[in-house]
Structure 1
Amino acid sequence: MPQEPGAAQAGPARVFMFRASSRRLCALSVDPTGGNIPRHSLGAEDEWTFVRVLDLLVGELRSGFDPDEVARALREDGYALIGEPFHAD
């Protein structure tokens, strides 16, 4: 069973990555459907599209976002907006 993001853990926390359909904006969510990610950060015709499952380790180095801050947001809000972590279309 996946552990809660940001909890004291030996292994990774399983989170789900989504991308806005027409913007360089990604989000991570503890909800596999992404239903808890706010739509107000999107344009009128945008939607969140599932990209991949991500195993997040607190303290690891990630390009484009701070995993410790993401873990805090996931713990407090259930989601984190992270911009475009892979810098690719």
Structure 2
Amino acid sequence: MARAIARRLADGIGLKNNGVSFGNYHVLRENDRPAALLELGFLSNAKDEKIVRTEQYQRNAVVAIANGLADYFAGSASRV
């Protein structure tokens, strides 16, 4: 699922895509449903913060995430 979302985010939402990595995070480990932890920018970086705060960036991110989820679940349905 993370890869499907990352592919859509990489299509160009305005910030560098750092790819997918795996970690033993509580929010993911203790979840019994498909889950992904997304970092959509870093507020500690002035350039990122300026971009992240724009409505256009937020809309683009929402569309990319929704499309990534649709891609993932459409692929999952075809494998059932």
- TM (norm. structure 2) is 0.25
Rg larger in 1 or in 2? 2
Which structure exhibits the higher relative contact order, with contacts defined as CA atoms closer than 8 Å and separated by 6 or more residues?
2
Bigger helix fraction: 2
